Chain A
Amino acid sequence: MKCKQTREVIDTASRHTLYSDSVTTHLSGCPDCRLHADGTASLLTLLSAQPRVEAPADFDIKVSMGIARAQAELANNKTYSLLALLKAQPRVEAPADFDFRLSAGIARAQSEPLSPAGVFERAWEKLARTLSFGQAAAAMGAAALIITASTVYINRDNNSPAPTTSVATTRSADPAPIKAESAQVNKTSGIEPVRMIAAKSAAQGVKVRPAMIRNDEFQAKNNSSPDIASLERVFNPRTRQFVPLRRSFGLEEASVKLTADTPSF
């Protein structure tokens, strides 16, 4: 036996272990291993000579007190109390004639003719047994998609605004529509008044110089709606004169067609 193997045996031996013959033989011929063995034996003797501390005399009493305290804490614990209550609930058992009632119920169900609802229910159960959960979910998703698409398609025709080519039709002879139009312009303050005028005149084939009407003037016109027509003047190329707006568009219908370039109101 080699020194390494011998020392492994010595190191893992307990105090009461007796060495084998091979170890003893090696130790008798190897001073180093013998020294190692002696050192280990001395250490084990020292350790075994260590006095053992003992529990105090009132150990049992303190353990009893500790148990009582722990049980009191557990009793005060609401979760523990709840669990104890639930655990203490009596278990309900099936009656003695449970099997008889079950057999009777099955027989009655088999003898009864199926109503239309029962047929549908049976078909549904059969379908549910046939399809897996994933397949059923996919089928439901597809059905929901079809219903949604149909609803959107139907509502599209009902709710969408009619595509009209005429946006505004006014009779300039009647002052009331002009007021209403002015009020509309006020609501859409982001629209340039000059362009509005130009759009109105486009249907008449009249060129209007937008610079002739200033924004501040337009604002003033909006504030005093009864005189709005009398203040507006546009250039008429036929007569080569500035004419009041009312005279220019009087008795005629102005129809403005929406084009891609026309700003939407």
Chain B
Amino acid sequence: MDDHQLLAATLTGDEAAFRELTRRYRNQITNYVYRMLDDYDRAVDLAQETFVRVWLNAERYQATYSFSTYIYKIAHNLAISELRQRKRRRTIPLPTFFSDKDSEEMEVEIEDRKQVLADDAMIGDERRRAVSRAIASLPEKYRAALVLCDIEERSYEEISDVLGLPVGTVKSRINRARNLLKEKLRDYL
């Protein structure tokens, strides 16, 4: 079954169809929101919120867009809203917590640089961390275009639909984001 059929089944109350949709997109959405926020826990929360909204507003879905565009758009809007709230509150990203191998003891590590330790569990080398920090330091509008294009590997047309921008503007932003990253990652290229 394709995404449209699954969503149609979801509208009839088929929970199994919705679970299948969730399974297909949960990692993509979580990854995208994480790259936008640079905060794993909050990214998971917003990814879950994205699926809740898909369920509640399934009637409003228009088949003119692909489902992936639709769900990325919801996730993007949530991420942008979160970033704006952070700006208003001037919050600092939460200190990252991770559990040690022994689940009874929680090791808390607060780093002076903006990064998420969930990333550290997966990324071992300095280069990857540097790239992660460089992406997180990009302005939002460039970051979203770059992540969708070069990490999520979405087409320009799809990015255009998700961001609500002309394709030309999307290309321009991606180019600008790449040039900025080249400057930041000069030592690694």
Contact = CB atoms under 8 A, between A and B. Distances in A.
Interface in B19-39: 19, 22-23, 26-27, 29-31, 34
B48 A47 contact: no
A106 interface: no
A70 B56 contact: yes
Interface string A47-82: 111111111100110110011001100100000000
Interface in B108-144: 118-119, 122-123, 127-128, 131-132, 135
Given A39-B189, A40-B178, A47-B150, A54 B19 contact: no
Contacts of A56: 44
Interface stretch (A7-15, A183-191, A232-240): A7-15
A12 B174 contact: yes
Contacts of B146: 47
B117 to A, nearest CB: 12
B30 A55 contact: yes
Nearest to A65: B48
B171 interface: yes
B48 A50 contact: no
Interface of B is mostly: helix
A43 interface: yes
Contacts, number: 98
A44 interface: yes
A70 B153 CA distance: 32
Interface residues of A, number: 29
A241 B182 CA distance: 125
Given A11-B175, A43-B181, A55 B44 contact: yes
Contact of A43 (B19, B49, B128, B185): B185
Given A39-B189, A50-B132, A70-B52, A55 B150 contact: no
A53 B174 contact: no
Given A54-B27, A60-B22, A67 B150 contact: no
B118 A53 contact: yes
A52 B181 contact: no
A46 B52 CA distance: 33
Nearest to A56: B44
B72 interface: no
A50 B128 contact: yes
Contacts of B185: 43, 46
B43 A63 contact: no
B55 interface: yes
B150 A15 contact: yes
B171 A12 contact: yes
22 contacts: A11-B174, A11-B178, A11-B179, A42-B189, A46-B131, A46-B185, A47-B151, A47-B181, A48-B151, A50-B131, A52-B151, A53-B27, A53-B31, A53-B40, A53-B43, A53-B118, A55-B29, A55-B30, A62-B44, A66-B48, A67-B52, A67-B56
Interface of B: 19, 22-23, 26-27, 29-31, 34, 40, 43-44, 47-49, 51-52, 55-56, 118-119, 122-123, 127-128, 131-132, 135, 146, 149-151, 153, 171, 174-175, 178-179, 181-182, 185, 188-189
